[in-house]
Amino acid sequence: MEFLSTLNTMITDVLGPLGPIIILGTLGLIMVVITISMMLSQPEDPMAKLKKSVQSPSSELPQKRLRQGERNEQLKKFASFLEPKSASELSARQLQLRQAGYQSQDAVRFFHFAQFALGLLGLILAFIYLIVLGAGEGFSTQKMMIYTILPGVVGYYAPTYWITRRVDARKEEITQGFPDCLDMMLVCVEAGQSLDQSIVRVARELHASYPALAQEFDVVAYEMKAGKDKSAVLNDLGTRCGVLDLSSFVTVMIQSAAFGTSISEALRVYSSEMRDKRVMRAEEAANKLPTKMTLATMMLTVPPLLIILVGPSVHGITQLGNLSMNP
């Protein structure tokens, strides 16, 4: 105990009252760097070597996977750290990232890597700003810990906030473009094309105006070409987008195919409802506008009006008070 007390006194004399925290933080960073370097220097998986040897050496172009490209082999080494252990949590995170527009197989790993990297970067920047640059002089230990941990917490939760905003923006874009998509699909079906052909055509036409919706219909077209069941493809579309209007459209199409009714008639009725719904949505936003402007109007209009109306009276009362005090 005397040795520890002496060591603590020496560290405090050299580095100040936060010396033990500085040393522990430095040791933690060194251990993180050593662990990452050791994991990166792991030997190549024998199964990966075997797959490479099986490939034809005469092929100049690397083999590509359908739809989502090749996986990142560097992130694969950290799969146990960058992917949730629970299958349900992993599926929920994959669905959220797909709703945000990130279709890559490594999207979950990139997401958790971004959380780890930004959190660590926030801690390092806070450490440099408070300790190295001396901005934290005079702070108590509790205040220093709060100012050090807070940037790390902000960096850790920044990817979650970004993904949430991306999901909301993408859902709004799909909702806005869906009525036009139905009108184009109705025209294609009435012109004699099948539902599969109309989806391909609509996806091609929507890339300029509504790229998110066009991307989802491209996935539907590829899955249908691959031979997947049409009902399963449409159900996956509704789940993947997470938009209520699109889920209702999927239900209408599945029921129309199941009962043998006319797809064009179902599309005509549903597209008319979607147009009316878009008009109602615009009217709702317009009706909300006066309520939202009330606070701004009060803050920007009432104070100048009070100054103009009440200011001269207050000035006159002040002058009368001065005259009565100094006759």
| Tens place of pLDDT per residue across the chain (327 aa) | 566 677 667 767 766 666 667 776 777 777 777 767 665 565 555 556 556 555 544 444 334 343 444 555 556 666 666 677 778 888 888 888 888 888 887 888 888 888 888 988 988 888 888 877 777 677 777 888 888 888 889 999 999 999 999 999 999 989 888 888 889 999 998 888 888 888 888 888 888 888 888 888 888 888 888 888 888 888 888 888 888 888 888 888 888 888 888 888 888 888 888 888 889 988 998 988 888 888 878 888 888 888 888 888 887 888 777 766 665
Q: Give residue 69's pLDDT.
A: 47
212: Cβ–Cβ under 8 A, 6 or more apart, which residues?
A: 101, 170, 173, 174, 177
End-to-end CA distance of the chain: 83
- 142/140 Cα distance (integer angstroms): 6
Q: Give residue 46's pLDDT.
A: 57
Q: Give residue 56's pLDDT.
A: 45
Tally the residues of the chain.
327
Token digits of residue 41: 């220097």
Q: The tokens 């999901």 sit on which residue? A: 167
Q: Give residue 197's pLDDT.
A: 87
| Number of neighbours of residue 211 by Cβ within 10 angstroms | 15
Q: Give residue 61's pLDDT.
A: 38
197: Cβ–Cβ under 8 A, 6 or more apart, which residues?
A: 188
Task: Note whether 149 and 25 are within 8 A (CB).
Answer: no
pTM: 0.65
Q: Give residue 50's pLDDT.
A: 55
Q: The tokens 């009330």 sit on which residue? A: 294
Contacts 24+ apart (CB under 8 A), 69-76: 69/104, 69/105, 71/105, 71/106, 72/106, 72/109, 72/110, 73/48, 74/40, 75/106, 75/109, 75/110, 75/113, 76/109
Q: Give residue 63's pLDDT.
A: 41
Three-state SS for the chain is CHHHHHHHHHHHHHHCCCHHHHHHHHHHHHHHHHHHHHHHCCCCCHHHHHHHHHCCCCCCCCCCCCCCCCCCHHHHCCHHHHCCCCHHHHHHHHHHHHHCCCCCCCHHHHHHHHHHHHHHHHHHHHHHHHHHCCCCCCCCHHHHHHHHHHHHHHHHHHHHHHHHHHHHHHHHHHHHHHHHHHHHHHHHHHCCCCHHHHHHHHHHHCCCCCHHHHHHHHHHHHHHHCCCCHHHHHHHHHHHHCCHHHHHHHHHHHHHHHHCCCHHHHHHHHHHHHHHHHHHHHHHHHHHHHHHHHHHHHHHHHHHHHHHHHHHHHHHHHHHHHHHHCC
| Number of neighbours of residue 1 by Cβ within 10 angstroms | 5
Token digits of residue 315: 């000035």
| Number of neighbours of residue 11 by Cβ within 10 angstroms | 16
